[in-house]
């Protein structure tokens, strides 16, 4: 049996990215150096384990191209408006106001992390 254990992507500023994800409720669970080449930081939501791996390649401080294949990661929130208010206080704004994909569906919106990766905030119904 298989299990999805984490998502990984490269970031230009590890501390800035970790700070952003903390504002979304993630906790830093550990860091692991990869020789003198890189540092991996492992983050997770409380009680869920390390589900997000951020890799900083030492000496690579330029932004990465997000690419056309990356879509987003999705986070469920109990109160989308409250979450957006807290994020706005930290200067994080949604791409556009919350909306529903279909009638009766959950409200959602997207924010971007410091490297331009999209994060979907999906209100639990």
User: Which CATH number does the domain housing residue 46 bear?
Assistant: 3.10.180.10
Whether 120 sits among the annotated catalytic residues: the reply is yes
**Three-point CA angle 7, 37, 63, nearest 5°:** 60
Q: Of these residues, 28, 85, 93, 120, which one is catalytic?
A: 120
Q: How do residues 28-71 score in pLDDT, each as one tens digit?
A: 999 999 999 999 999 999 999 999 999 999 999 888 888 877 88
| Same-domain pairing of 52 and 82 | no
| Same-domain pairing of 56 and 27 | yes
- The confidence score (pLDDT) of residue 61 equals 83
| Same-domain pairing of 2 and 53 | yes
- The confidence score (pLDDT) of residue 5 equals 81
Domain edge (last residue) among 61, 87, 110:
61
Range of the domain at 34: 1-61
């Amino acid at each position: 049996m298989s299990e999805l254990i984490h998502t990984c992507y490269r970031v230009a500023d590890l501390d800035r990215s970790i700070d952003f994800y903390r504002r979304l409720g993630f906790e830093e669970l550990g860091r692991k150096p990869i020789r003198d080449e890189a540092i991996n930081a492992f983050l997770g939501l409380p009680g869920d384990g390390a589900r997000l791996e951020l890799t900083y390649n030492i000496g690579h401080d330029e932004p990465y191209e997000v690419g056309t294949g990356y879509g987003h990661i999705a986070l469920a929130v109990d109160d989308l408006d409250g979450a957006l208010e807290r994020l706005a206080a930290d200067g994080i704004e949604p791409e556009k106001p919350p909306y529903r994909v279909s009638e009766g569906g959950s409200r959602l919106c997207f924010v971007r992390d410091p490297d331009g990766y999209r994060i979907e905030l999906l209100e639990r119904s």
